[in-house]
Amino acid sequence: MIVIELDIPGVDEAPTPVREPVPVGHQLHKEIAVARLLLAYFRNIFADDEGFQADLVEGQTNLHETIEMAVGRLAELETMREALQAARARIDARDARFQNQEKLLRVAIQTALDVAGQKQLETAHATLSRTATPAGVIITSEGDIPSKYWKRGDPRVDKTLLKADLKANKKSGGDPIPGAELSNGGETLTIRWR
């Protein structure tokens, strides 16, 4: 009696090994046993794919047909993954266009409100408000910034500390900090949808 067991990565529960009485040297029975074992693994792997499960039920009985079916499925999976990647790229491009449109519309509305001298406007969809934004840090030359403003670990500027000192220096007339300055702040458009 020959016992055939396969260890296939990614399959948590292996099916019970097929134990077939196979006369030594009788290749046909051996292939049938391996094909059945492979089909049992496929049932586990594709448990959530009813279509493929139905194809399995038709039951190829020789090893060559079973492996050929698996190779066909690999080709289908690759094609589906490529199609999903292409769809994802199209969706990402569409999302980027929508984000850009949203940004441009916000700027246009904000500009229109500014030119009209209105701080707030209520519409049927939302209430729009021009809201002041605080000054932010502009790094003009990162290499010139003193070590005091660098965070530990991966070298990066501690903008919170840098901003606080830039504000304090501006208020007190202190020395400028090399490599950084305060922006003038600005304005943003706030939209409340309720």
Average confidence (pLDDT) over 126-142 = 91
Residue 22 has what pLDDT?
45
Proportion of the chain in helix, strand, coil states, percent, rounded to 5: 50, 15, 30
Write the DSSP symbol of residue 125: S
pLDDT tens-digit series, residues 42-69 = 777 777 777 766 666 565 555 677 778 7
Same domain as 128, residue 73: no
Query: Residue 56's closest CA among 68, 42, 45?
Result: 42
Give the β-pairing of 156-157 and 150-151.
antiparallel
pLDDT at 4: 45
- Choosing from 64, 82, 100, the residue where a domain stops is 82
Residues 75 and 124 both lie in one domain: no
The DSSP 8-state label assigned to residue 119 in this structure reads S
pLDDT reported for residue 90: 95
Whole-model pTM: value is: 0.47
Is residue 105 assigned to a domain? no
Token pair belonging to 129: 């408000």
In a domain, 91, yes or no: no
Task: Please give the Cα distance from 123 to 175 (Å, whole number).
Answer: 47
Tell me the per-residue pLDDT of 87-116, one tens digit each, with 9 for 90 and over.
999 999 999 999 999 999 999 999 999 999
User: 121 phi and psi, to 5 degrees?
Assistant: -145, 130
Question: For the chain, what is the total number of helices (H) and then of strands (E)?
Answer: 4, 9
Identify the domain containing residue 37 by its residue range. Answer: 2-82
Is 97 part of any domain? no
Q: Which of 31, 53, 82 is at the close of a domain?
A: 82
Whether residues 22 and 77 share a domain: the answer is yes
Residue 110 maps to a domain: no
With pLDDT > 70 as the criterion, what percentage of the chain qualifies? Answer: 76
Q: Count the domains in the chain.
A: 2
53 and 43 Cβ atoms separated by less than 8 Å:
yes
Both structure tokens of 101: 């449109």
Q: What mean pLDDT value characterizes the chain?
A: 80
Whose tokens are 């292996």? That residue is: 14
